[in-house]
Amino acid sequence: MGDDVKSKLGKTAQRFSRRSVLKTTAAGAAAVAAGPALFNIARAADHNIRIGFPVPLTGPYGSEAQEQARCAQIAVDQFNAAGGLNGRMAELLVRDDKLKPGEAATRTLELIEKDKVHYVCGSLSASVQLSVNAVTKARGIIYVSISQSDAINEAKDFSKYTFHEAMNPHMTAGAVGRYAFPQFGKRVAFLIADYAYGHEMVRGFKRAGEAHGIEVVAEVTHPLASKDFSTFLPQIMAARPDVLCLCNFGYDQMNSLKQATGFGMKQQMQILAPALLYNQRRAGGAAAYEGVIGGANYHWTLESSVPSAKAFNDAYRAENDGAPPSDYGAYGYAGVGALLDGVKKAGTTDTDAVITALEALKYDKYKGTQYYRKCDHQSVQSVFIVKSKSESEMANEYDVFDIVHTDPASEDILRSCAELGHEA
Partner 1 sequence: MSLANPQERLTVSGRRLAGLVSLMARHRVAAVLGFLLIFPFLLPYEALAVNILIYGLYALGFNMVFGYMGVLSFGHAAFFGLGSYATGIAIVHYGVPWLPAIGIGIVAAGLGAAVIGGLAIRTRGIYFAMVTLALSQCVYYLVYQMEDLSGGENGLRGVDVYDLNIPGLELTLIDPLTKYYFVFAFVALAVWLFSRLLASPFGAVLEALRENESRARACGTDVAMSKWLAFVISGLFCGLAGALNAIHLTIVPIESLHYHTSGLAVMMALLGGMGTFFGPFVGALTFLMLEDVITLVTVHWQLFVGALFVFFILFFPRGIWGTLLHWLSR
Contact residues: partner 1, CB under 8 A: 10, 13-14, 17-18, 20-21, 32-33, 35-36, 39, 57-58, 62, 95-96, 98, 100-102, 105-106, 109-110, 113-114, 126-127, 130-131, 133-135, 138-139, 149, 151, 156-157, 195-197, 224
Q: Least Å distance between CB 195 and partner 1?
A: 4
Amino acid at 100: K
Strands, sheet with 379-380, edge to edge from the N-terminal-most edge strand? 362-363, 370-372, 379-380
Helix, strand, or coil (residue 203): helix
Minimum Å gap between C-beta 164 and partner 1 is 14
The nearer residue to partner 1, 351 or 369, going by C-beta atoms, is 351
Nearest to partner 1 of 98, 389 (CB atom): 98
What's at 142, amino acid-wise?
Answer: I
Sign of the C-alpha dihedral computed for residues 151, 154, 159 and 160 taken in this order: positive
Q: CB 322 → partner 1: shortest distance, Å? A: 24
CB 158 within 8 A of CB 189: no
Of 99 and 385, nearer to partner 1 (C-beta) is 99
Quick one: 286 exposed, middle or buried, by C-beta within 10 A (0-12, 13-18, 19+)?
middle
Angle at 148 between CA 250 and CA 190, to 5 degrees: 60
By beta-carbon proximity to partner 1, the closer residue of 143 and 181 is 143
Pick 193 or 357: Cβ nearer partner 1: 193
Minimum Å gap between C-beta 138 and partner 1 is 6
Find the shortest distance in angstroms from Cβ 355 to partner 1.
19
Closest distance between partner 1 and the C-beta of residue 345, in Å?
Answer: 29
Nearer to partner 1, 9 or 418 (CB): 9
Nearer to partner 1, 32 or 395 (CB): 32
Which amino acid, residue 369? T
DSSP-derived letter for residue 148 is -
The nearer residue to partner 1, 101 or 209, going by C-beta atoms, is: 101
CB closer to partner 1 out of 96 and 290: 96
Q: Which value, in Å, is the radius of gyration of the alpha carbons in the chain?
A: 25
Helix (H) or strand (E) holding 49, with range, is strand 49-55
Minimum distance from residue 208 beta carbon to partner 1 (Å): 23
Nearest distance from C-beta of residue 225 to partner 1, angstroms: 12
Give the whole-angstrom CA distance, residue 332 versus residue 146.
6
The least CB distance from residue 114 to partner 1, in Å, is 4
Shortest distance in whole angstroms from residue 231 CB to partner 1:
19
**How far apart are the C-alpha atoms of 47 and 293, rounded to whole Å?**
48
Q: What is the largest CA-CA distance in the chain?
A: 101
Output 36 or 408, the one with its CB closest to partner 1: 36
Cα angle 129, 130, 134 (rounded to 5 degrees) comes to 115
How far, in Å, CA of 163 to CA of 380, rounded?
Answer: 11
- Beta bridge pairs of residue 120: 52, 143
- Could you give the CA distance from residue 109 to residue 225 in angstroms, rounded to a whole number? 30
Q: How far is CA 385 from CA 64, 179, 273, 278, 342, in A?
A: 21, 8, 10, 13, 29
> What's the rounded Cα separation, in Å, for the pair 216 and 110?
47
Per-residue burial over 252-275, b = 16 or more CB atoms within 10 Å of its CB, e = otherwise: bbbbbbbbbbebebbeebbbbbbb
